[in-house]
Structure 1
Amino acid sequence: MTLQVSDDRRVRTLTLDRPEALNAFNEELYDATADALLAAAEDPGIAVVLLTGAGRAFSAGTDLLEMHQLATDPDVPRGKHGFIGLVDALVDFPKPLVVAVNGLGLGIGATILGFADLGFMAAEARLKCPFTALGVAPEAASSYLFPALVGRQHAAWALLSSEWIGAEEAQRMGLVKEVCPAEELMATARRHAEVLAAKPISSLVAVKHTMTAPHRAAIREARDRENAAFAELMGGPANLEALAAFAEGREPDFTRLPPGW
């Protein structure tokens, strides 16, 4: 199992559980998480979903070894939902989503905070949006959601620089509500989730709908733009250099790329 699911007091906790891979999303985990969100959306006994990770990482983002296979071998099987299906499930999720970042979060492990109604972060946790370091484009509508959450310059730095963002900086930027000692993270996140879960589900859904409805079209348009840019860049010279460097355990050298790349 790549995803652990548990229910308590109308809160469904989803725990990403590939600790040996730092909870990186392969096709199996993308499918499992999307299915879990879809199921929670339809379950009348679930009011809130709390998402976290097992081990020392929240999520290292997309599994780069599998990403390299998908980029270079058209015969590699793809999942039912994949990355795009997970993003769609996040966009459409009608109930409160609480995210507890217990360790490092890269790629979707950072951009998923754009969909969090409440975000909490362990004090030692860090985030990175490594898109330029991988020679690709933003993802998960972060090109729209991050500027809306944290302002243009904070978003530009996060999405353009591929630099680490510490927990305190993430809180100052507005990516998370609260920073906690690691040993208090889940208790804090659960306490907030249970406050929400004690409220009428119909009211929670109505409030979230009124907050998100004005942004849904813009989010989908951003997602489509990102997907088109990502598809154009994936497998290109910069992306292949980044993936080869990762597989070989070295830093990528983008200075050797053709002009314009």
Structure 2
Amino acid sequence: MSQPVLSKLQSGVLTLTMNRPDTLNSADDAMLSALVSALEEAGSAPEVRVVVLTGAGRGFCAGADLSMMAGNAGSPTRFSEHLEHTFNPLIRAIAELPQPVISAVNGVAAGAGASLALICDIRLWSSAASAVQVFSNIGLIPDAGSTWLLPRLVGYARAFELMAFAERVTPEDALRLGLCEHVYAAEQFAAQVQGYAERLAARPLSALTLTKQALRLNLSATLHEALHTEARLQDAAGASWEHQEGVAAFLEKRKPNFLKQP
């Protein structure tokens, strides 16, 4: 049996590849559990500076594996129970991971697969990628965080329209709407993602970790609360060796080295 998630560490970049290509990486319990475990391990691994999440084959993630979720006749599926032990822990793990997480959307991201792409800190798309909030096609509401994530990116009305009509989003639309930061040619996608991730890995990790915390916390904060959070986290950033290195490099007119603590 093939591994549900493939893992590769290169130059501080941990690439986690969802590995069910025959189903466009539709998510079963084994794959979701493996992803959560891999992220938990990465969070305490000093050699991991950036995590990339991508899919094997033609798809990023086609959402939940519906063949495993069908309820018995007269006994509807308890979706809440399924979500609380599958997708929801994974969404939380990505949001709470100390390191930045990049979604490398190589193909279709549908349903909860689109949520996985959106929750990451940076979204990079292949020219062969697409996304669709497919839930309404099967009489369900968007889940795995989509109703929280999508309106914050595109606004309430556009999010509702994408969800109501299950519109397919192209790379051009994703870039225009702010659903991704960059689109790369499909034939160069893996190399471009690795290069981008390595550039991010060379940045000061403690500062990025604290920046991620501040952004996540302040998504639902008032300005007063945000100012307090920034001040508190700035104390932590200012006490780091990376801050000392950055200041020293500025004064010495050289490029800072954030990869190795002096």
Question: Normalization by structure 2: what TM-score?
Answer: 0.76
> 1:192 is aligned with what amino acid?
Y
Higher relative contact order (CA 8 A, sep 6+): 1
Aligned equivalents of 1:131 and 1:175: distance in 2?
18
Aligned to 2:170: 166
TM-score (norm 1): 0.76
**Equivalent AA in structure 2 for residue 22 of structure 1:** L
CA RMSD across the alignment: 2.3
Q: What pairs up with 1:179-258 in 2 under 5 angstroms? A: 179-215=183-219
Quick check: 1:152 aligned with 2:156?
yes
Q: Supply the distance in 1 between the matched residues of 2:110 and 2:40 (Cα, whole angstroms).
A: 24
Give 2:18's aligned residue: 16
Question: Does residue 1:98 correspond to 2:89, yes or no?
Answer: no
Query: C-alpha distance in 2, partners of 1:14/1:103?
Result: 15
Amino acid at match of 1:190: Q
Between 1:1-10 and 1:109-118, the stretch displaced more is 109-118
Q: For residue 198 of structure 1, report the CA deviation from its aligned partner.
A: 1.1
Cα deviation per residue 1:217-242 (whole Å; 9 max; x = unaligned)? 8xxxxxxxxxxxxxxxxxxxxxxxxx
CA distance in 1, matches of 2:129, 2:146: 20
**Residue 171 of structure 1 contacts residue 177 of structure 1 at CA under 8 Å; is this kept in 2?**
yes
| SS of aligned partner of 2:70 | helix
- Partner Cα distance (2:185, 2:94) in 1: 27
Poorly superposed stretches of 4+, deviation over 3 Å = 69-74, 78-81
Q: What letter corresponds to residue 63 of structure 2 in structure 1?
A: G
Counterpart of 1:207, as a letter, is T
Residue 36 of structure 1 deviates from its aligned partner by 1.2
Which residue of structure 2 aligns with residue 26 of structure 1? Answer: 28
Specify the code of the residue in structure 1 equivalent to 2:35.
T
SS of match in other structure, 2:67: helix
Q: CA deviation at 1:101?
A: 0.7
How has the CA–CA distance of structure 1 residues 8 and 81 changed in structure 2, closer, same or farther, with 3 Å as cutoff?
farther
Q: Which amino acid aligns with 1:114?
A: L
Gaps of 5+ in 1: 218-261
Q: Which amino acid aligns with 1:30?
A: L
Among all aligned residue pairs of Structure 1 and Structure 2, give the percentage whose two residues are the same amino acid. Answer: 34
The question of whether the paired residues in 2 share the 8 Å contact of 1:28 and 1:79 is answered with: no
Amino acid at match of 1:120: L
Q: Measure how far apart 1:6 and its partner are.
A: 0.6
Equivalent residue in structure 1 for 2:126, among 112, 117, 122:
122
**Unpaired segments of 5 or more residues in structure 2?**
222-262
